[in-house]
């Protein structure tokens, strides 16, 4: 199966978007070669601004541009959302300005740069902000859809992208705020997002080989969240597992927990980063270290 990093798809998508909409501008904080906004810079040099290592200033510049009718896309590493959080909160979300944030290198699969650069809290930070839409695409195809949708939304949007190449799946129907049933099942349900879809698909197959009929549901939108779908599968299966490349605090697991609270489930377990920072290592080794491979996910489901 073809593999492509979601950050690469993001770079391709904004170039295509720029061709269709001359209001689209891109700002980057000295990381264009890594966030993949370089192609936009080459294609539309007059609509690209390298803001240097000044993330807070970049966000305020984008806020101002949005008031003039432009559609700014800001890009940097996801971990640097913290550097500009006050500006994102008060400068963009509070007045509901039309600014998009395409932040890359999220999660532990950033790899050797280590815990200082591995964002395991960015979804939590963005979900809590009023007026913010949060996208976590599972592959390149879904990233294209998220970028297109972001441009149509009148307000702040956060798009989380990954460095590690992951499988490219066939396009599925895309609706903002709606999850996607990847596989039906009755014994338990696994809810996931982002690049963990690949590993959850492996886990579901392992479980099937052991006689467990697991449903798998993927969410490309974490805010607004598809409470209805989460509740439907929680009620159907009784046993719920959430899997994410993010802290188990404030991310997908908590979004699902809020949706299914009070349902009296037989089992609810969040699988992700257990309130610790990341560390330096090869992405594949880090997935093993934090228990996020398909085999490990399947084991956790079976043990539960």
d(CA 80, CA 29): 10
Give the residue from 248, 255, 303 showing the smallest Cα distance to 272: 248
Give me the long-range contacts of 249-253 (CB less than 8 A, separation at least 24).
249/124, 249/275, 250/121, 250/123, 250/124, 250/125, 250/127, 250/128, 251/123, 251/124, 251/127, 251/222, 252/123, 252/136, 252/191, 252/192, 252/193, 252/219, 252/222
Could you tell me the strand order of the sheet in which 157-160 lies?
48-50, 24-28, 71-77, 100-104, 157-160, 133-135, 221-223
User: Is residue 220 a contact partner of residue 145, using CB atoms and an 8 Å limit?
Assistant: yes
289 is catalytic: no
Pairing relation of β-strands 3-4 and 133-135?
Answer: unpaired
CB 74 within 8 A of CB 59: yes
As a whole number of angstroms, the distance between CA 218 and CA 297 comes to: 15
Which residue is catalytic, options 12, 55, 121, 142? 55
Cα angle, residue 280 at apex, residues 163 and 82 outer, rounded to 5°:
65
- What is the gyration radius of the CA atoms in the chain, in angstroms? 19
DSSP bridge pairs for 87: none
Gap between the Cα atoms of 131 and 183, Å rounded: 31
For the annotated catalytic residues, the residue numbers are: 55
């Amino acid at each position: 199966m073809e593999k492509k990093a979601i950050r690469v798809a993001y770079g391709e998508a904004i170039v295509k978007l720029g061709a269709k909409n001359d209001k689209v501008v891109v700002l980057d904080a000295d990381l264009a070669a890594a966030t993949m906004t370089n192609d936009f810079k080459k294609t539309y040099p007059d609509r690209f601004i390298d803001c240097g290592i000044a993330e807070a200033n970049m966000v305020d510049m984008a806020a101002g541009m949005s008031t003039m009718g432009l559609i700014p896309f800001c890009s940097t590493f996801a971990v640097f959302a913290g550097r500009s959080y006050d500006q994102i909160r008060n400068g963009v979300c509070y007045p509901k300005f039309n600014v998009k944030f395409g932040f890359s290198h999220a999660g532990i699969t950033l790899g050797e740069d280590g815990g200082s650069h591995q964002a395991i809290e960015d979804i939590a930070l963005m979900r809590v902000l009023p007026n913010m839409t949060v996208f976590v695409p599972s592959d390149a195809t879904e990233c294209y859809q998220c970028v297109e949708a972001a441009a149509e939304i009148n307000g702040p949007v956060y798009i989380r992208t990954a460095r590690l190449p992951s499988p490219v799946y066939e396009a599925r129907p895309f609706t903002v705020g709606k999850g996607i049933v990847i596989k039906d099942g009755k014994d338990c349900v696994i809810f996931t997002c982002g690049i963990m879809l690949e590993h959850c698909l492996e886990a579901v197959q392992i479980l099937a080989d052991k006689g467990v009929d697991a449903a798998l549901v993927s969410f490309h939108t974490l805010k607004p969240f598809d409470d209805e779908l989460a509740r439907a599968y929680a009620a159907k299966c009784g046993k719920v597992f959430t899997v994410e490349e993010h802290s188990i605090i404030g991310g997908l697991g908590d979004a699902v927990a809020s949706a299914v609270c009070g349902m009296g489930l037989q089992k609810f377990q969040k699988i992700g980063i257990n309130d610790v920072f990341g560390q330096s290592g090869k992405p594949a080794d880090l997935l093993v270290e934090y228990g996020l491979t398909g085999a490990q996910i399947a084991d956790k489901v079976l043990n539960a």
